[in-house]
Structure 1
Amino acid sequence: MRIAVIGAGALGSTFAALLDRAGHEVILVARGAQLEAVRENGVRLSGGFGEWQTTRLTAVPRLDQEDTGPVDLVLFAVKAQDTAAALDEHGDTVAGAPVLVIQNGLDGVRAVSAALPDSSCIGALSIVAASYLEPGSVTVTTPATTYLGRGTGQPDAEVRHLEAELGEALRLSAIGNFVGAQWTKLLVNQLNALPAITGESVQSVIAHRSLRRIMTRSMRETVRTGVATGIRFGSLQGLGNRRLRLFAYLPITLGEALPLLFRARMGSVPNPGSTLQSIKRGQRTEIDFLNGAVVRQARAIGRSAPVNEALTALVHRVEESGEFLTPDEVLRAVAAERR
C-alpha cells in the first residue's frame, strides 16, 4: 500500500518505520529538524518492536499530489491540539482517501470526519509507549496493541479489512464499542499529567505514594464522569466496564492498585509519557484534550472534576514557566483546587 503518515512524533514515526519494515511505500510528513534528519538518514526504530532503519521512506514537509501522488491510506497521527491546523494544510490533498485517526482524547474521529466528509474515517487507540527525544530516532518502551473501530457497535467490514491489511505490521486489533474504548483510553492517559508537572518518569510518579494517590483520584473522576454521562466503557488491556465501575467506588487505598498495575506493565525502562516529551521539546501539550476533556465533560452534565482541573492548570503552568514542580508543590496545588 501507499500510505501517508501525517505527524512525525513518537507514534507517527513508530508506525511509519513499522510500515516501511513491512514493505509498504510510506510518505512521512515532518517538520524542522525531524524532516532534515529523516531525509538524511531515515527513521531509526529501537526498543520493544525491534531494531529497524527505514530504507524506502520518503519525508516531505507537506503532502502535494503533484509531487507525491495519491495515496491508498492516510495515518493521521498529529496531537489533538494540532488537528485543525493539519486539516487546513492537508485536507484538500487527502480528501477522499481513507483516514486512520490515531489520537488521544474523545473528539479526533469526529473532527476529522467533519472536515473530510468524502473520506472514510476509522479511529485508532494506541497503547504503545514510544519516546521521541532526538530527531530521526524513536524508542518503543512499551510495545502494545493498537485498537481500531468507530461508533458504539461491532467492527464493520472496512474496519475488519484494515485490520487484515495492516494488522501484522502494526499489531492492530478491531474492537466494538470504540466510543467506550476512547473513554477507557482517556483513563489510561491520566498517566501523563503528573510526569509532565514533575519532570519524572511515569514509573517514578507512581512509586511516590502521594502522587500515586492524586493519579488515582484523577482516574476515579474520569470514570465517574463517564458513568454519569451514560458511557459504557470499552475493553482495553484487561480494563472494561465492570472493572472500571468497581474501581471508581472502591476506597482510594484499594484503587491505587490500578496505577500500580500500569507501572508493572511498563517494565523498568523509564517512560516519560507523551505530555512530558512535548514539554521537553518546547511544544504545546495535549493536556486540554486529556485531563481537560474530563473537566469539560463533567461541566457539560453539571458536575465538577477538581483534581483533573488542577492537573490541567499545573501542566499549563509548567508549559509557561519551563520549571517543574516538587511533589509537595503539587500536593498543595491540588489540595487548594479541591477545597
Structure 2
Amino acid sequence: MKIAVIGAGALGGTFATLLARAGHEVTVTARGLALAVIRAEGISLTGGFGRARQHPLALERLVETPDLALICTKAQDAAAAIAENAAVLDGAAVIVVQNGLDGVNTARSLLPHSECFGALSIIAANYSAPGRVTITTAAPTYLGRGDGAADAATNAWRDVLAGAVPTVGIDNFVGAQWTKLVVNMLNALPAITGLSVQEVVDDAGLRRVMTSSMRETVRVGMRRGVRFGSLQGLGDRQLRAFSRLPLALGQVLPLRMRRRMGDVPNLGSTLQSLKRGQITEIDFLNGAVVREAGLAGVRAPVNALLTALVHEVETRGVPLAPVDVLERFAALAR
C-alpha cells in the first residue's frame, strides 16, 4: 500500500519506519537537514520496537495521491502542512496523529473529499537527531473518529496500521481526545524545568502542580459536557472520580503514569521541541484547556500559568529552576 507520512519527527519517523518495515511503500515529507539525512541514510529506529533502518522516499511535498496519509506534524504546523499537500491529499484517507483537540476538524475542513480519522499515540519517542528516533515506551495507538462507535472504515485502517505498530480501534474518539489531553499534562513542566517527566513526577512540589493541571483539565471537560473516552486504563468514570479527590490523593494518577514509563528518561514532546529550538505546541495542550474553560464560562488558572511559563522559556532559551516554578504557583494561590 502507498502510505504518506507528513512530518518526519519522533512519531512520524516511528510510523514511517515501522510501516516500511511491514512492506508498505512509504513516502515522508521533511525539510532542510532532516530531508538530506533521510535521503542519504534513511530513518534509524531503536528502543521499544527493536532496531530498524528503512529508506522511505523523502520529499519536501507529496507529488502523487497515496492510499493513506498520516499527518504527524506538531499541532501548530498541521494546517500549513495539510494545505501545502492538499492538491494530492484530497481524496485520500487521512489519519491525523496529533495531540490536542482540533486536528481532525482541521484536516476535514482542508480536505473535503477525504475520509478523516484521528489517532492518539501513547508511544514515547525521543527524536535524538534528524533521521534518528529512540522509542522509550512502546505503547498502542488508538484510532477512531467522532463520538460514536468505531465504524467499519476505522477498523479497516486499524488493521492496516496494526500490521506494523500496535493499534486499537476505539469508540468515542472525541472523548478519548480529552482523555489524552489529561495525559498530555505531563508535558508542560518538563519543558519549563528541563527535567524528564520521571524527574518531575518524583519531585513532590512539581507533582502537585502536575496533578492540579490534570484535575483542572478534567473539570473543564466536565463543564463542556465531555464524556471522556477510554484510553490506557482511564475513562469517564475514573477521571470523574479523580476530579473529586483531594489534591494529595489525586497524585496517584501521575505516579501511575510514571511507573508505566520505566526509567529511560522521557523528555516529553514539548521539551524536545525546545531542545531543537522550535516553537512548542503548548497552545494546543494546556492552552486548549484555557480556551475550553473560557467557552464554559470558567477559569483555568493552573493551565494558564503553565502555558505562560512555557512561552517564557521559549523566549528566554533556558529552563526555570523548580524552586522558581513553585514560587510562581505559590503566588497564584495567594
**Band of TM-score, shorter chain:** over 0.9
Instruction: Give, in whole Å, the separation in 2 of the partners of 1:79 and 1:336.
Output: 32
Alignment equivalent of 1:287, drawn from 282, 301, 306: 282
Instruction: Give, in whole Å, the separation in 2 of the partners of 1:88 and 1:110.
Output: 13
| Aligned equivalent of 1:322 | 317
| Aligned equivalent of 2:328 | 333
State percent identity of aligned pairs: 60
Instruction: Give, in whole Å, the separation in 1 of the partners of 2:290 and 2:121.
Output: 23
Alignment equivalent of 1:84, drawn from 76, 79, 88: 79
Instruction: Give, in whole Å, the separation in 2 of the partners of 1:10 and 1:93.
Output: 24
Give the SS at the match of 2:149. Answer: coil
Give the SS at the match of 1:284. Answer: coil
C-alpha RMSD over aligned residues: 0.9
| Aligned equivalent of 2:146 | 151
Whether the aligned pair in 2 keeps the contact of 1:7 and 1:77 (CA below 8 Å) is yes
Q: Which amino acid aligns with 1:9?
A: G
Q: 1:1-339 counterparts in 2 under 5 A?
A: 1-55=1-55, 57-65=56-64, 70-339=65-334
Q: What do residues 238-264 of structure 1 show as CA deviations (whole Å, max 9, x unaligned)? A: 001111111111011110010000110
Instruction: Give, in whole Å, the separation in 2 of the partners of 1:338 and 1:188.
Output: 24
Whether the aligned pair in 2 keeps the contact of 1:307 and 1:338 (CA below 8 Å) is no
Q: Which amino acid aligns with 2:326?
A: L
Instruction: Give, in whole Å, the separation in 2 of the partners of 1:93 and 1:319.
Output: 35
Give the SS at the match of 2:205. Answer: helix
Instruction: Give, in whole Å, the separation in 1 of the partners of 2:330 and 2:60.
Output: 45
Deviation, 1:335, is 2.8
Q: Which amino acid aligns with 1:294?
A: V
Q: Which amino acid aligns with 1:58?
A: L
Deviation, 1:33, is 1.2
Stretches of 4+ aligned residues off by more than 2 angstroms: 334-339
Deviation, 1:88, is 2.3
Instruction: Give, in whole Å, the separation in 2 of the partners of 1:54 and 1:2.
Output: 15
Give the SS at the match of 2:164. Answer: helix
Q: Which amino acid aligns with 1:22?
A: A
Instruction: Give, in whole Å, the separation in 2 of the partners of 1:322 and 1:74.
Output: 34
Q: What do residues 288-308 of structure 1 show as CA deviations (whole Å, max 9, x unaligned)? A: 000000000001111001000
Q: What do residues 196-241 of structure 1 show as CA deviations (whole Å, max 9, x unaligned)? A: 0000000000000000000000000000001111111101010011
Deviation, 1:85, is 1.3
Instruction: Give, in whole Å, the separation in 2 of the partners of 1:36 and 1:157.
Output: 39
Whether the aligned pair in 2 keeps the contact of 1:311 and 1:334 (CA below 8 Å) is no
Deviation, 1:328, is 1.2
Instruction: Give, in whole Å, the separation in 2 of the partners of 1:313 and 1:337.
Output: 13
Whether the aligned pair in 2 keeps the contact of 1:191 and 1:202 (CA below 8 Å) is yes
Instruction: Give, in whole Å, the separation in 2 of the partners of 1:333 and 1:125.
Output: 32
Deviates more, 1:87-96 or 1:290-299: 87-96
Q: What do residues 5-54 of structure 1 show as CA deviations (whole Å, max 9, x unaligned)? A: 00111000000000011010000101111111111110000000110011
Instruction: Give, in whole Å, the separation in 1 of the partners of 2:266 and 2:144.
Output: 27
Instruction: Give, in whole Å, the separation in 2 of the partners of 1:319 and 1:159.
Output: 38
Instruction: Give, in whole Å, the separation in 2 of the partners of 1:336 and 1:281.
Output: 31
